[in-house]
């Protein structure tokens, strides 16, 4: 037979169990909401210089690859900058510069024109960002930014995870990247 004290204890145990479940659910929702805000991380320029340095010309084309979240010794993200003045390839591991190579191509201004043509040829565009497929972690990402005379002309990025693409970048990005790297010595792109 259940007495009043036993019944009160059972109710308190049920309340405690419900409170634990509630706290767990709130914690889980908090984690998910934080992931949703950061599904396509904003890529910053590697190195200490801001984007308005001597490396940037009248036209700036930037391609960036953001590696998956892995230990620093394995993490390698890279950014390619193409301007009217030079071609720059930077590799970093969570912001620590691993390699930074800047060169002037013999056909520098022509290279900019070729890459802008490739941008159109490969139909690089913005699309409406897909927000339904949020919740995956551990993927990688890439972005393309183009500025003309300091004004943003294009900015698109994608996050790839679990076989899904989340972002606003569409078109043949691999074809565009191939043309961005074309006619540049392959040794420039080697890194550990």
pLDDT reported for residue 150: 83
67 with 28, same domain? Answer: no
DSSP SS3 for 35:
helix
pTM of the model: 0.70
Q: 112 phi and psi, to 5 degrees?
A: -60, -45
29 with 73, same domain? Answer: no
65 with 11, same domain? Answer: no
Q: Which of 184, 169, 175 is nearest to 82 (CA)?
A: 184
84 with 142, same domain? Answer: yes
Angle in degrees, 0-180, between the axes of helices 173-181 and 108-121, rounded to the nearest 10: 170
- Within a domain: residue 144? yes
DSSP SS3 for 18:
helix
CA–CA separation, 170 and 109 (whole Å): 26
pLDDT reported for residue 177: 97
126 with 64, same domain? Answer: yes
Q: Return the CATH number at 161.
A: 3.30.1560
181 pLDDT above the threshold of 90: yes
5 pLDDT above the threshold of 80: no
Q: For the chain, what is the domain count?
A: 2
83 with 19, same domain? Answer: no
78 with 168, same domain? Answer: yes
CA–CA separation, 6 and 123 (whole Å): 72
144 with 74, same domain? Answer: yes
| Segments forming the whole domain that contains residue 124 | 59-189
**Mean of the per-residue pLDDT values of the chain:** 80
- Within a domain: residue 5? yes
CA angle, corner 167, sides to 31 and 131, nearest 5? 50
63 with 4, same domain? Answer: no
Half-sphere exposure at residue 14, Cβ-oriented, CA atoms within 13 angstroms? 6
How are beta strands 151-161 and 125-126 bridged, if at all? unpaired
- Within a domain: residue 125? yes
- Within a domain: residue 75? yes
Residues 35, 131 contacting (CB under 8 angstroms):
no
CA angle, corner 161, sides to 157 and 162, nearest 5? 150
* R_g over Cα of the chain: 24
Residues 91, 106 contacting (CB under 8 angstroms):
no
- Within a domain: residue 43? no
- Within a domain: residue 30? yes
pLDDT tens sequence across 53-112 = 444 558 999 999 999 988 889 999 999 999 999 999 999 999 999 999 999 999 999 999
């Amino acid at each position: 037979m259940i007495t009043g004290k036993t019944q009160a204890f059972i109710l308190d145990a049920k309340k405690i169990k419900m409170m634990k479940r509630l706290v767990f659910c709130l914690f889980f929702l908090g984690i998910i909401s934080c992931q949703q805000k950061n599904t396509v991380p904003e890529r910053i320029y590697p190195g200490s210089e801001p984007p308005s340095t001597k490396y940037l010309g009248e036209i700036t084309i930037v391609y960036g690859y953001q590696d998956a979240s892995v230990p620093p010794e394995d993490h390698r993200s890279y950014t390619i900058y193409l301007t009217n003045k030079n071609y720059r390839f930077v590799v970093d591991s969570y912001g620590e510069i691993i390699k930074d190579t800047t060169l002037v191509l013999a056909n520098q201004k022509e290279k900019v024109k070729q890459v802008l043509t490739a941008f159109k040829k490969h139909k690089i565009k913005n699309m409406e960002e897909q927000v339904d497929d949020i919740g995956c972690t551990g993927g990688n990402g890439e972005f393309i930014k183009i500025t003309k005379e300091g004004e943003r002309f294009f900015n698109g990025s994608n996050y790839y995870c679990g076989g899904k693409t989340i972002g606003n970048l569409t078109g043949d990005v691999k074809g565009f990247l191939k043309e961005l790297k074309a006619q540049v010595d392959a040794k420039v792109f080697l890194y550990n």
